[in-house]
Structure 1
């Protein structure tokens, strides 16, 4: 039995109504059983507002509470870049965030001189790929209602990626309008202005998206992303391109019973030196039942397609992907389901000549406690379009045009996530370009309720290549400690050793929530050479924010 008290002023709703659509759900951790007050078909997630019951109030409700809130902050910071021979650099800053409720489903967010120093640092990864790694957005300003922007495009082909904004140049100010216009229309509009920093130009970033619901569960979204060079004519800093824009349409398909899902889109990039081949087109379709899933997709990204505010791993390529999976439900041995999976992925040039191929034959077993085991047999082929050092350690690069094929075996196991101690382990061995690779990865976490948790992530990759190319043993270790001293005082310590980039990173964050949505942060960050513990750069931040509502 649980009882919650939720103030009406904290909820946005339309005044004068006497009925709400509402649902309650429960997860029985012992049996992994989900249940809900209003029935939800099994093929849908529990948090689905398409299936609600009716909550009838005794009388019509009054209008909701405060229509705006303000969160100003004050910040003191001291940094030092010892690699550049700089002395201690003290700094003071102030800024303001504001949220204005235009309607029960439409918000306007404003930010002046925003600061993200308290945001959790990224968990590092060993990069053995030819392409840029993707890291998720963690800054709160970009997260609310972000699906209308972040959901554009497809995996590895995003026309808008908010981490392109404000990580190198400080953001001077930003505004975001987001929410529902009515039962059929949603919108999201965001604009941010960055400042000049060192040799980096100032730019204005804007994105606008309008989404229309179609049929029962499908929708179509039209959008425009714009990056505009904004340095004044007298500035010495020059930009290679005055603007970069991407416009497009995305259609998301979802059948009434959720068995058919898919996505189709057309994107066109626009810039002042653009080529004729500057479009991206994609389509994929999946059919899913309780025992069977099949999917097929194809994409084309033009050689001249440029999304400077997006995340696009490669251009001038065609990508075809298909998969088939089947599940058996034995009803014994504490096994929930098991079955085979086949994935085939092909990359080709415009003339359909093959550049990459990956075929995976897997078998997965999932137990009733949600732990699982998976074995993969993989075949890979690569024809290098550009020179590449497989260890990413600044060694001799394999020339472009070289072709390689290899086989690998991989094993994965994930424990029961409901336990106080949870862990994930994986191993991989096989060919890798013109050599071999052994990869071992593990993550473990132990919860000491209610006081905190201790976690450890570790990765070891041994890459053996023939002379004269570099071989390497790449190690990444990241212990993390989270302590809850009280309901209002928290400490996070995250240390990451990464010999691929020759760095030991330490991030310590103390948070005191002295009032609702009001915090005092102390954040210390240090990057060090691990051999002799000589500091590269370091900094400490004291930040105070207060919520006026």
Structure 2
């Protein structure tokens, strides 16, 4: 209890300090002429036909937007091609349409598979901040071929795996292309009494690279951040129907153990327009994208992001302490702990419930899942998490999290934690984010000398020109949450990273470069008694991105590592206990992805503990047209010490075939000599409408320890899956 009191006092002190932070006197900056005032969005009495063809009568009552401004590479420039957008709504949908006037042969449009990431293509899109708190929002993109991409914007993080139901159609003409978008109110969470939403409209031209936006709040922040949205008003009497969504599914699975038909059901009910309940029964994740396996050159476990739809819905609510997919050690809730166990592997989920959304100024998330018990699948176990975040004004958030349960049900482990977040603009245009957290585990039979707590403090200035990130984290030797992610315990961690970026506008540099940049970071690891575990100094003296979007950098790493125990890296290479100093050089080059063939290469030369290291990584991509994409990647690691050599290879082949915007066939083959494994994932997908999906998937894995000819099947599953979404 004393620890929680101390934490509360520390958080209150940080809150007071941030609240009293002084800003420089307000000055009018040139880019502020592109900041939009509150814009009223008209209500349509007749819904437009979403077919991609803009007709004057359909959109004559919509808000017309033509004042787009270039954001990259030149802040405040005139877009290369004229853009006319239309914004409107009715009780059921939020509508956006646009006409991009440009020569047909200048359009970059090479993707046909629905759901594929389209950030390297031409696209038009929007960000909706339905809470108008500038902290999170929904992102929607559409390419000239009508390929839709959606995701969540959580502060400065983009969660691409999130998906929802929405509609878009496009048409291409000799003088450009048109797009019409309809986003169901039932796909959004919002407070019906809120006077304002936030909206950003954006267009991306791939070649030459130009980003254009409707609103600019801060050129030092990325244009897709929720903080860049403009206030819109006038939305009233919105209808989310009865708030019921039912998604039945049927899968036929043929695996090594058995063949069976497996029905599943996902159901959603909106208790209020901003509070959603979900139920999943006999949850089926067949056909979900598999992980792309990387070499693990450390002694610590690897982190993989969530890909399953049930856990991705409103997943940003469960984020804690500023941690994300790039900063995860100490994470109290890691949803991939559910449905998996160290003893049994994949565990079937019998049922799960989730309640997410907002009540007043409080974000709320509650999740509970019943699954097979790890180590004894004939029995079940219950795993639960609860999360709340209270918004205090526009700049502060105070939150709490609780988790309970373990995969093997061996002990009733409970975690509790508190966190605080502050976000503001200082010095006129510099974004500042501060996070603090404390969490602890209540262990059965807790010993007096146990240390089951973790806490941390971080300050970040995620700005375009000057970036700074400083953090401190403490992870006790017994802090290992059953539903979280921790791959290093007994740890004090210090981290400082910074970059300085210049986007030249004039002269030879302005004619040839998008940017040049210097980047550096320092990391230090200690045990909780203050004894050094290691440190790293990273210097990247030169990063260049050309006008053609080629990318080059050179870097130098200086490592100091302390091994308390021997590290068996390979059968013939083991590093003894002791302290090691070693260095590595890296050169990286990547060609622009808007070409039919593009590639990247990396060379690393130096040491690895007391062994010599040479690494070559090459990725070759071919996209000759919008129907075919092929990627071949090869990562080669060569180690030598005292005449002993050890080589490791990781090879990946990806083939995506899009027959049209409804039919696609994607395959991924992976071979990894570190784990002596080979895997194949192939999926045929038919999506005739956003609410209808049919899939045939094959997922196989082999152990190659005894060689290719004596390979052993580790897993094998062939699945046919049908899903349809019904809404009322």
Q: TM-score, normalised by structure 2?
A: 0.67
How far 1:219 sits from its partner (Å)? 1.9
Partner of 2:244: 68
Matches within 5 A, 1:78-227: 78-80=254-256, 89-152=258-321, 154=323, 155=327, 156-167=329-340, 168-182=346-360, 184-196=361-373, 199=376, 202-227=380-405
The 1-side partners of 2:443 and 2:476 are apart by 14
Do the aligned residues in 2 keep the contact of 1:152 with 1:159 (CA within 8 Å)? no
Correspondence for 1:84: none
Contact preservation (8 Å) 1:344, 1:359:
yes
Deviations 1:442-476 (A, max 9, x none): 23333344314112222111122347xx7421111
What whole-Å deviation, never above 9, does each CA across 1:158-200 have from its counterpart, x for those lacking one? Answer: 1111111103221111111111212x22111111111136546
Aligned length: 525
CA contact (8 A) 1:101 1:107 kept: yes
Mapped partners of 1:514, 1:366: distance in 2 = 39
Residue 367 of structure 1, aligned match among 521, 528, 546:
546
Superposed displacement of residue 514, structure 1:
4.3
Return the alpha-carbon distance in structure 2 between the equivalents of residues 291 and 16 of structure 1. Answer: 38
Query: Which secondary structure does the structure 2 equivalent of 1:23 belong to?
Result: strand
Does the Cα contact within 8 Å between 2:222 and 2:464 map onto a contact in 1?
no
When residues 387 and 486 of structure 1 are mapped into structure 2, their CA distance, relative to the original with a 3 A threshold, is: same
Given that 2:351 and 2:371 are in contact with CA atoms closer than 8 Å, whether structure 1 keeps it comes out as yes
C-alpha displacement at 1:37, in angstroms? 2.2
Name stretches of at least 5 consecutive residues in structure 1 with no aligned partner. 81-87, 230-237
2:497 to 323, 329, 332: 323
2:611 is matched with which residue? 435
Residue 622 of structure 2 is aligned with which of 431, 438, 446? 446
Q: Among residues 37, 44, 56, which one is paired with 2:221 in the alignment?
A: 44
In 2, Cα distance between the equivalents of 1:20 and 1:300? 38
- Of 290-299 and 48-57, more deviation after overlay is shown by 48-57
Structure 1 residue 19: Cα displacement? 7.6
Separation in 1 of the partners of 2:278 and 2:485? 25
Q: Secondary structure at the match of 2:665?
A: strand
Aligned partners of 2:221 and 2:431 also within 8 Å? no
CA 1:355–1:39 in structure 2 vs 1: closer, same or farther (change >3 Å)? closer
Measured against aligned partners, the alpha-carbon deviations of 1:519-541 in whole angstroms (never above 9, x if no partner) come to 22211122233621645142211
Instruction: Give the aligned partner of residue 698 of structure 2.
Output: 524
Q: Which runs of 5+ in 2 are unaligned?
A: 1-98, 100-177, 341-345
CA separation of 1:52 and 1:463: change in aligned 2, threshold 3 A: same
Distance 1:504 1:313 in 2: 25
2:572 is the alignment partner of 1:403:
no
Counterparts in 2 of 1:348 and 1:141: CA distance versus 1, 3 Å: same
Distance 1:387 1:350 in 2: 21
Structure 1 SS opposite 2:336: helix
Give the TM-score, by structure 1 length: 0.88
Distance 1:99 1:484 in 2: 31
Deviations, residues 370-405 of structure 1 (Å, cap 9, x unaligned): 4321111111111113331123xx556434x32211
Separation in 1, partners of 2:491, 2:584: 25
SS state of the match for residue 293, structure 2? coil
Judge conservation of contact 1:159–1:246 (CA < 8 Å) in 2.
Answer: yes
SS at match of 1:308: coil
Instruction: Determine if contact 2:366/2:386 at 8 Å carries over to the other structure.
Output: yes
Paired with 2:220 and 2:355, the residues of 1 have a C-alpha distance of: 33
Measured on the aligned residues, the alpha-carbon RMSD in Å equals: 2.6
Partner of 1:387: 566
8 Å CA contact 2:406–2:482 kept in 1: the answer is: no
SS at match of 1:24: strand
Matches within 5 A, 1:474-513: 474-513=648-687
Other structure's SS at 2:575 match: coil
Select 2:422's aligned residue among 226, 244, 253: 253
Cα deviation for residue 29 of structure 1 reads: 2.5
Which residue is 2:201 aligned to? 24
Give the aligned partner of residue 541 of structure 1: 719
**Relative to structure 2, which stretch is displaced further, 39-48 or 110-119?**
39-48
